[in-house]
Structure 1
Amino acid sequence: MNTAINSLLLELPVPFKRIGGVLHVEAQAHNGISRWLDNFDRITLCAPLLPDDEQDLIDGSISWLPVSDLTADGRLNLQTLPWGYHPLDHFKQRRQVRELFQRLIPQHRYLCFANLGWLGSWGNIAADMAQATGRSYAVWLDWVLHEMPASQPGGPAKRAFGRIKLGMLKRNCLRAVRNASLGLFHGRSVHQAYAPHCAQAELVHNIHLKRSDIISPAQLQQRLSRSDGRLRIGYAGRLHPMKGPLQWIAAVDGAIRAAAPGQVIEATWIGDGPLLEDARRRVIELGRQEQIHFPGAETERGRVLDFLRGLDIFLFCHLTPESPRCLIEALMSGTPLLGYASPYASDLVASCPSAAQFVDIGDSAALAQLLGRHLARPNQRRQMAIDARTCGLHFSDEAVFQHRSQLIKEYLP
């Protein structure tokens, strides 16, 4: 083992994509790799390569960046892994993946694996090989994998395979967590789920905004000085079942129905995803096209930040145990949180709890009532916004990646 070099073997689920013969990664992953390189002298990054015939599986709104600029100084080595999410592909490629990790593991001082589960989750193979050779490793998870929403039911065979797949995913994931010397779990919800199974469980965060992206006091004051009487509500993220977009619409619609004359709500959700057209249809059914908007994806980072900074309320309806970065991004934008309660969301505002208000998961009627109260209480919203920015001051990409890297160096012998 090469212990003289501060080197990291990092395996991730975020895929590579080949564009014009050049490897690309998703824009936020590109920033993440840069932050890892701030903390390690040499990194080998392993991630699956998206096949040309699987392009429709990836959100078309993703912004891709070439990785060539990160490899220029020779400190970053890229290793593409096969796309093994189909059973035949997975079992066909297992030997190739094992041989790759058998070669790479002894070459690195620190090991961290993130793509855990079953089919195509090569991090489990890496973890098993590290365990077999007596090497310590870390795992990094930002959601509770086996509690994600199941796919739509099909015939008996499909449902039976779905149960097998979920069982194998949970079994393999927990095995990797139990054998890890360090668990890096993003957010309180994920930490609470996995900590009982891990020898050393640490709560970490994941964000790609910089300190310079935190809304300035002057920008916040300018927003708080608006006097047009509108309550601007928003969300930024994928329209996926686990995000509860239809419940989000129900909450906004309920608040609009209960609003007094002259009280105006304007709600916008930016993002793409499998429920985008369903959400648009539901808005039309309710006759709310003037108040509720789903414009689609926005990939330009500056415009997303401007959107978050312009909101009075960041409204969310997350239904599963995950740690969405958008809540941190909202706080860094000085935007108060209203949404479904979770350990993750509560922990983010633990130092300034008045920056957020929560209702029970699934209770969109209670969320509508909460929105209605905020329509009539602009002074409360003002203080919540100031407190939200105070919470957001604790976060930045530099800080969270440095914290994670320090834990790896501390707990992996």
Structure 2
Amino acid sequence: MFESRASAWGETFMQIAAADHLLVLPVPFRQVDGQLFVEHQAAHGLLCWRQHFESLIIAAPVLPETGVTQERLREIAWVPAAALVSNVQLVPLPWAYRLRDYLKHRRTVQATLTECIRQSRYLQFAIGGLHGDWAATAAQIAQRLDRPYAVHMDRVEHEVIRLNSRQAGMSRRLRNMFVSPLMRRFHANIIRNASVSLCHGADCLAAYRHLNVHSHLVHNIHLEAADVASHDDTFAKAARIADERPDEELSLVYSGRAVADKAPLEWLHALGLLKASGTKFRATWLGEGDLRTQAIEQCRALGLADCVAFPGFESDRAKVLAAIQQAHMFVFTHITPESPRCLVESLLMGTPIIGYESAYAHDLIREHGGGQLVSCHDVRSLAMAIAKLGASRPLLADLTRRARRDAGQLDAESVFAHRSRLIKQYAGVRREPPAAPETPPPAIVTARFVQRPV
């Protein structure tokens, strides 16, 4: 079980015990007055992993309490570590995405991760950065120890960086021109040497499958079968929609961070065109993000304040899911190759997805067509697609039924079982690691890193 003998940051010393499965993740811990907290969906993930592995070691960075991350703290729901399932060891690591911080903590973290790897049977690393990406560091250590490992990718990170830099200042664009190709080569080495490559979503699979013969399409969702809309509920919703008049108000929703990847300003542009077409609607964007304030200002400038709302982050997941289920359409404007869970959540709640084309979105609805996709950045076509569905409620009702069928078995139990099978199939051969040095290493210090304002 989780054990910690310290009461405050800077005093936690943890002896790593043998475990069935090690995960090194980018999803951060939080530490307040010596107590560790875990992001609520990550906490649910630990419960799911424990259904397939006897014991876990989870290593992740600790989010700083000061500086630019204050906004991030507000938009995350946290679960105390003491409330987690048994047989889980948490290993907090420093937040070191600045080069100087990475160089300062590298050796100590390498020693910590080496011990975690030695004590674990199965290894899984969720990569997504350069320096400060401790999952990538762990993969390099596993290679040196000749240990098989699984690598997991949520998005094509080097492309995300390149695309997001288009709207950044000159210094950031120049920096990303250097970082993006470096990251591409760095990640390619880690993926190429993995025993199995877990590609979350079709965009990741398309980008990385050539690097590893054991590349597999996987999904990540944190909704249990009991949380999602039943087929009966969805068919009843579709019947209500089919009986609506074409001029009745549409309910549109999006759930996610208001950041550059999600293009909230393009979302608003499309809604502005939709309003100009005469379509009645009410739209809600649930989520925080560094573009939320600008989006609210743009909303007013476009004359949309009476029909568009940005209420911010909603910590109650049941309320978010209810808002998605009650909406006619889930409208999104994702512009980077990533795999947002919100699209799967929408399908599971029986709400069709209407937005920008991507391999990920296309793959989700390819079997039954539970949505409509337009070219990326084509806000005019997006507005037209929404308007046409609003004008033909029987067509929208049919799309609603198709959306729930497209979700299939994409619930938490199914997707975690799938990933666990792949890890055990391909990364389960435990080669003998090199012998430990005769002189015992110093005690593993897992949370003595001093956080500085960022």
TM-based fold match above 0.5:
yes
User: 1:70-85 maps to which residues of 2 (within 5 A)?
Assistant: 70=84, 73=86, 75-85=87-97
**Cα–Cα, structure 1 residues 53 and 288, in superposed 2: closer, same or farther, change >3 Å?**
closer
**Structure 2 partner of 1:245:** 264
Q: How many Å separate the matches in 2 of 1:10 and 1:38?
A: 15
Report the CA distance between 1:358 and its aligned residue.
0.8
**Cα–Cα, structure 1 residues 385 and 8, in superposed 2: closer, same or farther, change >3 Å?**
same
In the alignment, is the contact (CA less than 8 A) between 1:117 and 1:172 conserved in 2?
A: no
Is 1:215 matched up with 2:229? yes
Q: How many Å separate the matches in 2 of 1:67 and 1:351?
A: 40
Cα shift readout 1:345-404 (whole Å, capped 9, x = no counterpart): 111112212x11111111011111111111210000001101111122321111111110
Is 1:197 matched up with 2:211? yes
Cα shift readout 1:215-241 (whole Å, capped 9, x = no counterpart): 134533553426471111111100011
Amino acid at match of 1:357: Q
Cα shift readout 1:108-162 (whole Å, capped 9, x = no counterpart): 1111111343121011221111111211111011111101112864465x55444
Is 1:13 matched up with 2:26? yes
Cα shift readout 1:200-229 (whole Å, capped 9, x = no counterpart): 100000000111122134533553426471
Q: How many Å separate the matches in 2 of 1:209 and 1:131?
A: 34
**Cα–Cα, structure 1 residues 67 and 151, in superposed 2: closer, same or farther, change >3 Å?**
farther
Q: How many Å separate the matches in 2 of 1:50 and 1:266?
A: 36
In the alignment, is the contact (CA less than 8 A) between 1:181 and 1:199 conserved in 2?
A: no
Is the deviation greater in 173-182 or in 321-330?
173-182
Q: How many Å separate the matches in 2 of 1:59 and 1:283?
A: 25
Given candidates 149, 154, 178, the residue that maps to 1:164 is 178
Secondary structure of 1:346's counterpart equals helix
Q: How many Å separate the matches in 2 of 1:190 and 1:155?
A: 28
Q: How many Å separate the matches in 2 of 1:139 and 1:349?
A: 26
In the alignment, is the contact (CA less than 8 A) between 1:204 and 1:403 conserved in 2?
A: yes
Q: How many Å separate the matches in 1 of 2:167 and 2:262?
A: 16
Report the CA distance between 1:168 and its aligned residue.
3.0
**Structure 1 partner of 2:5:** none
Given candidates 306, 309, 313, the residue that maps to 2:322 is 306
Is 1:283 matched up with 2:283? no
Secondary structure of 2:115's counterpart equals helix
Secondary structure of 1:150's counterpart equals helix
Report the CA distance between 1:407 and its aligned residue.
0.2
Is 1:32 matched up with 2:45? yes
TM-score (norm 1): 0.93
Q: How many Å separate the matches in 2 of 1:12 and 1:166?
A: 21
Amino acid at match of 2:412: D
Q: How many Å separate the matches in 2 of 1:52 and 1:151?
A: 30
Secondary structure of 2:82's counterpart equals coil
**Structure 2 partner of 1:178:** 192
Given candidates 102, 115, 122, the residue that maps to 2:127 is 115
Secondary structure of 1:109's counterpart equals strand
Report the CA distance between 1:174 and its aligned residue.
1.5
Amino acid at match of 2:26: P
Report the CA distance between 1:82 and its aligned residue.
1.3
User: 1:33-182 maps to which residues of 2 (within 5 A)?
Assistant: 33-54=46-67, 55-56=69-70, 58-70=72-84, 73=86, 75-148=87-160, 149-150=164-165, 153-154=168-169, 156=171, 159-182=173-196
**Structure 2 partner of 1:326:** 342
**Cα–Cα, structure 1 residues 244 and 52, in superposed 2: closer, same or farther, change >3 Å?**
closer
**Structure 1 partner of 2:286:** 270
Cα shift readout 1:46-67 (whole Å, capped 9, x = no counterpart): 0011233354262522111112
Report the CA distance between 1:104 and its aligned residue.
1.8
In the alignment, is the contact (CA less than 8 A) between 1:186 and 1:205 conserved in 2?
A: yes
**Cα–Cα, structure 1 residues 328 and 294, in superposed 2: closer, same or farther, change >3 Å?**
same
Q: How many Å separate the matches in 1 of 2:409 and 2:118?
A: 37
TM-score (norm 2): 0.85
**Structure 1 partner of 2:387:** 372
Q: How many Å separate the matches in 2 of 1:393 and 1:337?
A: 15
Amino acid at match of 2:57: T
Q: How many Å separate the matches in 2 of 1:270 and 1:159?
A: 29
The count of residues paired between Structure 1 and Structure 2 equals 402
In the alignment, is the contact (CA less than 8 A) between 1:59 and 1:273 conserved in 2?
A: no
**Structure 1 partner of 2:6:** none
**Cα–Cα, structure 1 residues 66 and 344, in superposed 2: closer, same or farther, change >3 Å?**
same
Amino acid at match of 1:377: S
Secondary structure of 1:357's counterpart equals strand
**Cα–Cα, structure 1 residues 42 and 343, in superposed 2: closer, same or farther, change >3 Å?**
same
Amino acid at match of 1:407: L
Structure 2: which 5+ residue stretches go unaligned?
Answer: 1-17, 430-454
Is the deviation greater in 222-231 or in 95-104?
222-231
Q: How many Å separate the matches in 1 of 2:19 and 2:106?
A: 29
Cα shift readout 1:25-84 (whole Å, capped 9, x = no counterpart): 11111101111111101111100112333542625221111121225x3x1111111111
In the alignment, is the contact (CA less than 8 A) between 2:270 and 2:380 conserved in 1?
A: yes
Q: How many Å separate the matches in 2 of 1:317 and 1:127?
A: 33
Q: How many Å separate the matches in 2 of 1:57 and 1:161?
A: 24
Q: How many Å separate the matches in 1 of 2:136 and 2:313?
A: 33
Report the CA distance between 1:21 and its aligned residue.
2.4
**Structure 1 partner of 2:437:** none
Amino acid at match of 1:99: A
Q: How many Å separate the matches in 1 of 2:65 and 2:318?
A: 30
**Cα–Cα, structure 1 residues 363 and 159, in superposed 2: closer, same or farther, change >3 Å?**
closer
Secondary structure of 2:83's counterpart equals coil
In the alignment, is the contact (CA less than 8 A) between 1:338 and 1:357 conserved in 2?
A: yes
**Structure 1 partner of 2:358:** 342
**Structure 1 partner of 2:441:** none
In the alignment, is the contact (CA less than 8 A) between 1:251 and 1:365 conserved in 2?
A: yes
Q: How many Å separate the matches in 2 of 1:328 and 1:348?
A: 8
Amino acid at match of 1:386: R
